[in-house]
Amino acid sequence: MLIKKYKVSERRACRLVGQHRSSNRYEPRPTDLEAKLVERMHALSLEHPKWGYRMIHGLLVAEGWPVNKKRIERLWRREGLQVPPRKVKASGQKAVGEDANSTRRLPARYRNHVWSYDFIKRRTSDGRPLRVLNVIDEFTRVGLGSHVARGIGAKGVREHLEKLFEIHGKPTLIRADNGREFIADSLLDWLGEQQVRGVFIAKASPWQNGINERFNGTMERELFGHEVYHSILEVQFVVDAWTEKYNTMRVHRSLKGQTPAAYAKMLQEATPYNLGGGSR
């Protein structure tokens, strides 16, 4: 700038700003080493297309290249060798839950006020998957019934609820996570016709459905923690027997030392009318 503007020599301009003339004349040129290094980086990126520059740097150092990680990162970016971001397929459904629907902020106040449901996922001895859909009444802790199948979609959830509604009456609310089976429009429309409102906990917050999670955790520990099952029929039989035992023999501190069945019976005797709905 000084040479061009003031028409002075390079020597005088460099003396004025305190810069050596060799620095002023320097033009960076890729060395033979760097050219070979870049060539090797391209070869390694083709061999390991999902590896980033850190992994490639480790390979180069192991091969004896005298390079540090920062240099590899610079060349990696300059050559456009970054691994492209993974594409996540959208499910087409969005979480609809919120903290206000948690068991703490929206507790069950009476029998058939709030039901909750969720899945247990396991496999039979042949490696094939199975699902157990558990439904409980949160106020009495009664296990209302479980459905076991290889796969359970929104239609399977509805069919199971239809059976339970006939036996136990209908709840006011039914709590769930944001599983696709539970937030499906077809299921929610049907629940609306039954005058039952679905409420959903916040995404990735299973503790907000804590009562059902506790029920499922107990079942998993006592039934699936140490046993191998061979068929859906076998699992359904064992689950039904365990639920009967849970309801009639297992006492709960939250129920003042009573079993869920005994507590529900006490409520029924205390409120002999309007048992199917929301009587306190």
Instruction: Check residue 93 and give its pLDDT.
Output: 60
Q: Residue 21: pLDDT above 80? A: yes
The larger pLDDT score, comparing residue 280 to residue 122, is at 122
Q: Are residues 30 and 126 in the same domain?
A: no
Q: Residue 29: pLDDT above 70? A: no
Rounded CA gap, 83 and 75, in Å? 14
Across 239-264, average pLDDT: 94
Binning pLDDT at 50, 70 and 90, where does residue 50 land? Answer: confident
Number of structural domains the chain divides into: 2
Across 101-119, average pLDDT: 96
Q: Residue 78 falls within a domain, yes or no?
A: yes
CATH number, domain of 213, equals 3.30.420.10
Residue 225, domain extent: 99-270
Q: Which of 83, 114, 131 is the last residue of a domain?
A: 83
On the 0-12 / 13-18 / 19+ scale of CB atoms within 10 A, 198 is middle
Instruction: Check residue 279 and give its pLDDT.
Output: 38
Instruction: Check residue 275 and give its pLDDT.
Output: 42
Q: Are residues 150 and 122 in the same domain?
A: yes
The larger pLDDT score, comparing residue 238 to residue 276, is at 238
Structure tokens at 45: 């990126």
Question: Mean pLDDT in the chain?
Answer: 89
Rounded CA gap, 273 and 262, in Å? 18
Q: For 179, how many CA atoms within 13 A lie in the half-sphere containing its CB?
A: 19
Q: Residue 280: pLDDT above 70? A: no
Q: Are residues 56 and 152 in the same domain?
A: no
Rounded CA gap, 110 and 120, in Å? 26
Q: Residue 225: pLDDT above 60? A: yes
Q: Which of 83, 111, 127 is the last residue of a domain?
A: 83
3-state secondary structure (DSSP) of residue 120: strand
Q: pLDDT tens digits for 262-275?
A: 999 999 887 654 44
Q: Are residues 167 and 238 in the same domain?
A: yes
Q: pLDDT tens digits for 159-201?
A: 999 999 999 999 999 999 999 999 999 999 999 999 999 999 9
In the sheet that 173-176 helps form, which strands lie side by side, from edge to edge? Answer: 143-149, 129-137, 114-123, 173-176, 197-200
Across 13-21, average pLDDT: 88
Q: Are residues 77 and 105 in the same domain?
A: no
For residue 204, the 8-state DSSP code is T
Q: pLDDT tens digits for 129-162?
A: 999 999 999 999 999 999 999 999 999 999 999 9
Q: Residue 45 falls within a domain, yes or no?
A: yes
Q: Are residues 156 and 251 in the same domain?
A: yes
Across 206-211, average pLDDT: 95
Q: Residue 28: pLDDT above 70? A: no
3-state secondary structure (DSSP) of residue 257: coil
Q: Residue 277 falls within a domain, yes or no?
A: no
Binning pLDDT at 50, 70 and 90, where does residue 48 land? Answer: confident
CB 35 within 8 A of CB 65: no
